[in-house]
Structure 1
Amino acid sequence: MELSQHKIEPFDYQGGADFINRLKEVYSVSHRMDLSNIIGVSNGTMSTWRTRNQTPFEIAVRVHLASGVSLKWLLLGEGDMYDSSKSAEESNQAQLPYAELEYGELTDKGTLLFDTKFLDENPEYEMVLKYEGKTLFVDTSNTKIISGRYLVEFDGVTSINELHRIPGEKIYMNFNGKDIAVEEAQIKVLGKLNK
């Protein structure tokens, strides 16, 4: 098979703010800091994309491979976000619940899309949590206190604390570097944080 020798003209790529806004749409976030944590690129780098109207092709390919989003939509603003001829199963993506923990309040932020292969390799990743500028994964099925960092609720407040079970049915919760004995009935474990 012989390929045509016609010149391939460059496409009219939409970088800068358009590209960043599409990335935020893909990951259902409204702030660049949230996006920065998800794609692993600094806020300063995204400011450069915006100021110089740059198109970060490596990030586009990475997001496409991880989420199945259409490159044509992401880079050119053409067509649908996802190829409508593919089902969610065919595009190898799944959604995880996404929440933000701030000032003792857990706020639902919708869902984030992840590659099913990534989730198959990390079945304990059941929820995505934004906390103090970091993106964490929570195993919401792991609510039995043994030892580790847990997402807990007590007295109407949600927080992340180190919890330890010691012999004698005793639970210790770490507050600012101090271990305090607590009754297991006083706290509700929402899940264990993954490293």
Structure 2
Amino acid sequence: MNSGKGGSVEILERLMSSYGVNTQKDLAAALNIPANNISGWTQRDSVPGNAIIKCALDTGADLQWLVTGELAKTSLDSVPDTPKGEALYAEITSNGGKPVLRRIMDAYGFTLQKQLCELLGISSGTVSTWVRRNYFPGDVVVTCALDTGVPLQWLAMGKGTQPGESAKENTATAIPRKNLMSGVLQEAGSWAGDLSFVPHDLVEPIFISSNSGAWIIDASVSSISNGRWLLGVDDKYDIYDVAMLPGRKISVSNKFSNFICGIEEVSAAGNVVLTMEYNF
């Protein structure tokens, strides 16, 4: 797919921005693909629709912005149980063939495949191949979502608000998001979620995500006590469980390390109020 401001290079920059990464190698890791795939996209000046869809569902980035560099007037509906990473890619590509074709037809309001072929300028044989091979036509899904305004989650996976349904009351709150990569906190836009179930008020909530999990912290809390914390150790950050010890010492541990140090030897960037762990 080569659309918008400057083609594939600009689209790749927006994908990297959405994932909070700085290199094409890190983008390939986020998309769970070989790094040389991206150099191939650059040479062909074409980014596959599947990668754009995965990024939009992974990060919540606006689909129209990813493709064209322009923000859509309406935001996409979010689906709380949408998987991430490899699981998300597997679910998207397993929704090919007849199911995704039916949703595309419904989104356009077509009753005949011929109408879709004429609109997109493709042959009936191409559509028949989608069905026969259970193929997921990523570029067509992106085109349809931008054309019709139908929610991407429903179009790609059959989840979320269907066309014509009234959206449920939105109680989501947008808070800053940061990606934790190799001990470095990187700005990654915002994250929306319903925090009404949290038993106390959060003064400065931040959503932190990494390859091993995700956390909501309150960055306004900096006085270390027993509990789970986002700590800086020699300017490298990670999530740790902290236990207070006599003599202003603390026991600091996570799945990768376990040590005892003085409380002044670490810096608290926030108290963890919610932990979300991946099951794959």
TM-score, normalising length: structure 2: 0.42
Matched, 1:121 2:154: no
Paired-residue identity, %: 17
Matched, 1:179 2:259: yes
Aligned ranges 1:98-177 → 2 under 5 Å: 98-114=177-193, 118-122=194-198, 123-124=201-202, 126-174=205-253, 176=256
The count of residues paired between Structure 1 and Structure 2 equals 145
Q: Look up the SS of the partner of 1:145 in the other structure.
A: coil
Aligned counterparts of 1:72 and 1:177: Cα–Cα separation in 2: 48
- Write out per-residue CA displacement over residues 13-64 of structure 1, whole angstroms, 9 at most, x where no aligned residue: xxx949936943972389xxxx999723632212223x44738x9xxxxxxx
- Gaps spanning 5+ residues in structure 2: where? 1-48, 64-77, 104-147, 156-168, 276-280
1:40 corresponds to which of 76, 83, 86: 83
Contact conserved, 1:37 with 1:134, CA < 8 A, in 2? no
Matched, 1:74 2:151: yes
Call closer, same or farther: CA 1:135–1:174 in 2, change over 3 Å: closer
Contact conserved, 1:97 with 1:110, CA < 8 A, in 2? yes
| Partner amino acid, structure 2, of 1:74 | P
**Paired position in structure 2 for 1:11:** none
| Partner amino acid, structure 2, of 1:40 | P
Call closer, same or farther: CA 1:29–1:164 in 2, change over 3 Å: farther
CA RMSD of superposed structures (Å):
4.0
| Partner amino acid, structure 1, of 2:83 | G
Q: Look up the SS of the partner of 1:120 in the other structure.
A: coil
Contact conserved, 2:232 with 2:267, CA < 8 A, in 1? yes
- Structure 1 residue runs of 4 or more that deviate by more than 6 Å after TM superposition: 35-38
| Partner amino acid, structure 2, of 1:167 | P
2:61 corresponds to which of 18, 24, 28: 28
| Partner amino acid, structure 1, of 2:53 | I
Bigger proportion of residues as strand: 1
Q: Whose relative contact order is higher, 1 or 2, with alpha carbons under 8 Å and at least 6 apart?
A: 1
TM-score, normalising length: structure 1: 0.57
User: How far is the alpha carbon of 1:185 from its aligned partner?
Assistant: 2.1
- Gaps spanning 5+ residues in structure 1: where? 1-15, 58-70, 78-89
Contact conserved, 1:48 with 1:54, CA < 8 A, in 2? no
Contact conserved, 2:176 with 2:190, CA < 8 A, in 1? yes
User: How far is the alpha carbon of 1:160 from its aligned partner?
Assistant: 1.7
Contact conserved, 2:172 with 2:195, CA < 8 A, in 1? no
- Write out per-residue CA displacement over residues 124-154 of structure 1, whole angstroms, 9 at most, x where no aligned residue: 4811111224222222233222222211112
- Write out per-residue CA displacement over residues 45-86 of structure 1, whole angstroms, 9 at most, x where no aligned residue: 12223x44738x9xxxxxxxxxxxxx9541599xxxxxxxxx
Contact conserved, 1:28 with 1:111, CA < 8 A, in 2? no
